[in-house]
Amino acid sequence: MDMSCVDEAQLAAICAGNKVPEGAEPIALAYAGHQFGNFVPTLGDGRALLMGEMIDVHGRRRDLQWKGSGRTPFSRGGDGRSALGPVLREYLVSEAMYALGLPTSRALSATLTGEQVLREEPLPGGVLIRVAASHVRIGTFEYFAVRSDLESLRQLTAYVIHRHDPELAEEACPALKLLTMVGKRQAALVAGWMSIGFIHGVMNTDNMSISGETIDFGPCAFMDEYDPATVYSYIDRRGRYAYGNQPAVLQWNLARLAEALLPLIHDQPEEAVAMASEVLGQVPGWYREAWQGRLRGKLGLVGAEPDDHELAEALLGLMHAEQADFTNTFRALSGVAAGVAVLPPAFDSWRRDWQVRLARDQREGLPDRLRAANPAFIPRNHQVDKALEAAVREGNLAPFRRLHEVLQRPFEDQPEAAHYADPPRAEERIDHTFCGT
Could you tell which of Mg ion, ligand AMP, none binds residue 375, using a CB distance below 5 to 8 A set by kind?
Answer: none
In the bound state with ligand AMP, the residue whose beta carbon lies nearer, of 118 and 229, is 118
Asked whether position 44 contacts ligand AMP by CB under 6 A, the answer is yes
Q: How far apart are the first and last CA of the chain?
A: 31
Phi then psi for residue 200, to 5 deg, are -65, -45
Asked whether position 81 contacts ligand AMP by CB under 6 A, the answer is yes
Nearest to 136 by CA among 113, 121, 117, 156: 156
Among 41-49, 171-179, 273-281, 331-339, the segment contacting ligand AMP (CB under 6 A):
41-49
For residues 279 and 258, what is the distance between their CA atoms, to the nearest angstrom?
A: 9
Question: Whose CB is nearest to Mg ion?
Answer: 216
Helix 138-146 to helix 246-265 angle (10° resolution) is 40
Shortest distance, CB of residue 207 to Mg ion, whole angstroms? 5
Shortest distance, CB of residue 75 to ligand AMP, whole angstroms? 4
Give the largest Cα separation in the chain, rounded: 64
Nearest to 354 by CA among 408, 316, 285, 299: 299
For residues 200 and 179, what is the distance between their CA atoms, to the nearest angstrom?
A: 22
In the bound state with ligand AMP, the residue whose beta carbon lies nearer, of 204 and 383, is 204
In the bound state with Mg ion, the residue whose beta carbon lies nearer, of 76 and 360, is 76
Position among 124, 218, 300, 379 found at the interface with ligand AMP (CB under 6 A): 218
Helix 348-359 to helix 326-337 angle (10° resolution) is 50
The one-letter code for the residue type at 316 is L
Out of 63, 165, 206, 224, pick the active-site residue.
Answer: 206
Draw the binding track, 202-231, toward Mg ion (x: CB under 5 A; -: no contact): -----x--------x---------------
Draw the binding track, 377-416, toward ligand AMP (x: CB under 6 A; -: no contact): ----------------------------------------
In the bound state with ligand AMP, the residue whose beta carbon lies nearer, of 78 and 269, is 78
Could you tell which of Mg ion, ligand AMP, none binds residue 197, using a CB distance below 5 to 8 A set by kind?
Answer: none
Nearest to 188 by CA among 100, 279, 106, 289: 289
8 A C-beta contact, residue 98 and residue 70: no
Asked whether position 216 contacts ligand AMP by CB under 6 A, the answer is yes
Task: Give the CA angle between residues 365, 368, 373 to the nearest 5°.
Answer: 120
Shortest distance, CB of residue 56 to ligand AMP, whole angstroms? 25
8 A C-beta contact, residue 23 and residue 1: yes
Asked whether position 47 contacts ligand AMP by CB under 6 A, the answer is yes
What 8-state DSSP symbol labels residue 433?
B
**Residue 206 annotated among the catalytic residues of the structure:** yes
In the bound state with Mg ion, the residue whose beta carbon lies nearer, of 75 and 292, is 75
Alpha helices in 341-420 (DSSP H): 348-359, 366-373, 381-394, 398-407
Residues near ligand AMP (CB under 6 A) are 43-47, 74-75, 78-81, 202, 207, 216, 218, 435, 437
Catalytic residues: 206
